[in-house]
Chain A
């Protein structure tokens, strides 16, 4: 099993116009399908936004949203668990930077027992390199099973 197969996490990206009630429609569709959102981030421009979600069942969520008329894509991201202390984020960014990996975007959430989970999106072709760099720096990559439950 390659490092990519082991650690790539499926993230949903949903294209949303900046329109009243649209976010509610997405979240309702997920709620009705009993899908749990494990992590989320929202990117926005003047006219539209992109909602990024890591959920417990990405394939199901994609099908639900797609048939609900949303523009959805599934993409690979990866997650790193760090101590919830100053400098932890910096450590991961440094590892990626040293490996010449650009970060497209990142978001984070606080986990249990003084841990934090960082989610990174890097260019598709650099994903493997990024995973290796993080692993070789002795940092804790998070397996997707952590989210898919």
Chain B
């Protein structure tokens, strides 16, 4: 255990949570006009919030709220105190922006250190980090966590699979961090390249997250590498990776001294008792730059408060079972159908008739967008059509942060092949974690 709070008695935890919650609520009420207004609408004042059980009196915050206050409208710290800004793709064009003060980065480092300690990672370990660096929170989140526990970090980032394998072998990496599907992809390429996974690599544990993984995929990664599989859960709006991580007993512990979890009925917004499945709602109680009250994660899960044999008393959540909205997770990147539509409508004359087709190409996801070509867009020339396709692909990359294959199809093809107006065809075997 990295911090004794992870095994603290319930009363101590709740007392800490209540104190932090009160501070945070009065802070956002004072500093963020959005929250002041929302509190007023909900008829609640900071004085009403005494204990964690009062959480349900507070209004929800959604991704849309973040977007509506792009870029810094929900920040509770002046920009002069912000030392890092990350951003993820938004639902309709505008990205969501998250900021961190130096204190926030310490919180992040702390929860990521706890994550790494789930596998006892520390000095002497070599952590190969294949999460994307950059605006995505994955890369830097794991990076600073590994440094905090004293491990040597290899900031590999995504892509270049063969070179990654070479570095993992030559640098003697002991810990692997990436999406579960990339972990499996790495093992397959390793085999193709003639590596002996057991003899050539020293990987003993992995931290896998950013996308849902079925038990089948998890088992495949575990077996392919012969390692301890640690699941990680997080979202940039809350902090990035580090919201929860699984212990050697496979329980996904939430760092609830920083992020208060609730599970609600997504239809009514009513809190549900422990053990019941619903949408996870998180409240940050220690962050300064972007504190968020009751954030609707849209992730479906349930909570279990029972203490764990690992010694942690932190509440645990089940692996995410699905989404309560139409968000897709493609190789770890969040994609909304509305983003695809946004790109298409930017191209003059293009029919908004499209279908998103998700497939597995090997073990990785492939996203195709089938777009109908109508008489306004159809230019008599292969070059013009290829140009349209290229332009759409590059706009999609720009907007969605992932490679999308665009396929131009005839009108009515979509209904013909799909049977009905259906925007998303997910042919991936692993759709949700279960």
Contacts and interface: CB of A to CB of B under 8 A. Distances in A.
Contacts of A44: 382
Nearest to A69: B412
A149 to B, nearest CB: 24
Contact of A71 (B375, B381, B386, B407): B375
A50 B381 contact: yes
B380 A17 contact: no
A105 to B, nearest CB: 8
Given A13-B378, A15-B373, A66-B375, A71 B410 contact: yes
Given A17-B413, A71-B373, A73-B375, A48 B381 contact: no
A47 interface: yes
Contact of A45 (B373, B374, B375, B386): B386
Contacts of B373: 15, 71
**Chain B interface size, under 10 / 10 to 19 / 20 to 34 / 35 or more:** 10 to 19
B408 interface: yes
A70 interface: yes
Interface string B356-384: 00000000000000000111001111100
Contacts of B408: 15, 17, 47-48
B1 interface: no
Interface in B402-434: 407-413
Contacts of A13: 378, 380
Chain A interface, >50% SS class: strand
Contacts of B407: 47
A104 to B, nearest CB: 6
A121 B380 contact: yes
B330 interface: no
Contacts of A66: 375
B385 interface: yes
Interface in A29-84: 43-45, 47-48, 50, 52, 66, 69-73, 75
A13 B373 CA distance: 13
Interface string B324-348: 0000000000000000000000000
B380 A71 contact: no
A45 B385 contact: yes
A139 interface: no
A100 B70 CA distance: 52
A16 interface: yes
B375 A52 contact: no
Contact of A52 (B380, B409, B412): B380
Contacts of B385: 15, 45, 48, 50
Nearest to A75: B380
B380 A73 contact: yes
Contacts of A43: 381-382
A17 B375 contact: no
B229 to A, nearest CB: 39
B378 A15 contact: yes
B410 A45 contact: no
A71 B379 CA distance: 10
A15 B381 contact: no
Interface in A73-111: 73, 75, 104-105
Nearest to B412: A69
A17 B417 CA distance: 13
Contact of B381 (A47, A70, A104): A104
Nearest to B416: A69
Contacts of B412: 69
Nearest to A104: B381
Contacts of A52: 380
Nearest to B413: A17
Interface in B387-412: 407-412
Contact of B410 (A70, A75, A105): A70
A105 B383 CA distance: 11
A89 to B, nearest CB: 21
Given A45-B385, A48-B385, A69 B380 contact: no
A34 B325 CA distance: 52
A17 B379 CA distance: 15
Contacts of B411: 69-71
Given A71-B375, A73-B375, A17 B410 contact: yes
A66 B380 CA distance: 15
Interface in B291-323: none
Nearest to B380: A13
A45 B409 contact: no
A127 to B, nearest CB: 13
Interface string B127-145: 0000000000000000000
The winner among A43, A50, A71 for most chain B CB atoms within 10 A is A71
A50 B382 contact: yes
Given A22-B410, A50-B380, A71-B375, 20 more contacts: A13-B378, A15-B378, A15-B408, A16-B410, A17-B408, A17-B409, A17-B413, A43-B381, A44-B382, A45-B382, A45-B386, A47-B407, A48-B408, A50-B381, A50-B382, A50-B385, A69-B411, A70-B411, A73-B380, A121-B380
5 contacts: A11-B380, A50-B382, A52-B380, A71-B374, A73-B380
